[in-house]
């Protein structure tokens, strides 16, 4: 048994360049300390903005490791209690899911959501394992919202009331998809470069994001 564990540990460590590994501590170890919520503009107006947030509570603040989110098998970051992050996406369908960490390994998948977004729209996804939103109690039709396990889409008024005091723990992400058939505007082209299909961590400042984007063409 001990030999098996040693081999497994060695495999995980040596393969860390390709194997997903947890990297976000829970709020008990390090609480989110970034800026409070501030709406983000998309780099391209045809993209969708997706906010992922997790209301803070005592149970979440006692968490040692935060659940890690993935999109189309690409690892994002963990979502701590009392924190939020964002995704800028092309319109389309994505596989969004989260896995529960234990040390340097992942255990079970917490949820899997077929995420469908339309360009130019904004979406709010609320994550809470112990305090899920009761749609009916708020006069909402649950069939009108995407949901899977503890992740629920919520309307903007409710989301903004909850997210306004949450903090950005890690920079959001830009996730490129298939190139558009037409450029956004000439003479610059938004998504005709192959590297735009990769998952790229975005910086917090929209101006810095624009600078990085322009610099990539030289």
Between vectors from CA 115 to CA 155 and to CA 84, what angle results, nearest 5°?
55
pLDDT at 25 over 80: no
pLDDT at 184 over 90: no
Q: Is the dihedral of CA 9, 14, 18, 21 positive or negative?
A: positive
Residue-wise pLDDT for 86-103, tens only, equals 999 999 999 999 998 776
pTM of the full structure: 0.72
- The mean pLDDT of 59-74, rounded to a whole number, is 79
């Amino acid at each position: 048994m001990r030999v098996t564990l040693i081999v497994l540990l060695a495999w995980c460590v040596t393969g860390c360049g390709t194997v997903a590994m947890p990297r976000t501590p829970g709020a008990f170890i390090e609480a989110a300390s970034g800026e409070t919520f501030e709406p983000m503009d998309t780099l391209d107006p045809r993209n969708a903005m997706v906010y992922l947030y997790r209301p803070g509570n005592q149970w979440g603040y006692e968490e040692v490791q935060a659940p890690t989110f993935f999109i189309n098998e690409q690892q994002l970051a963990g979502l701590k209690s009392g924190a939020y992050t964002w995704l800028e996406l092309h319109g389309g369908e994505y596989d969004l899911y989260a896995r529960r960490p234990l040390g340097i390994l992942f255990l079970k998948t917490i949820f899997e959501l077929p995420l469908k977004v339309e360009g130019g729209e904004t979406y709010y996804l609320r994550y809470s394992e112990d305090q899920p939103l009761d749609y009916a109690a708020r006069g909402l039709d649950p069939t009108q919202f995407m949901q899977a396990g503890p992740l629920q889409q919520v309307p903007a008024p409710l989301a903004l009331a909850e997210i306004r005091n949450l903090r950005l723990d890690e920079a959001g992400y830009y996730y490129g998809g298939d190139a558009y058939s037409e450029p956004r505007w000439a003479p610059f082209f938004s998504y005709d470069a192959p590297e735009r299909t990769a998952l790229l961590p975005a910086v917090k400042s929209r101006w810095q994001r624009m600078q990085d984007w322009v610099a990539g063409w030289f």
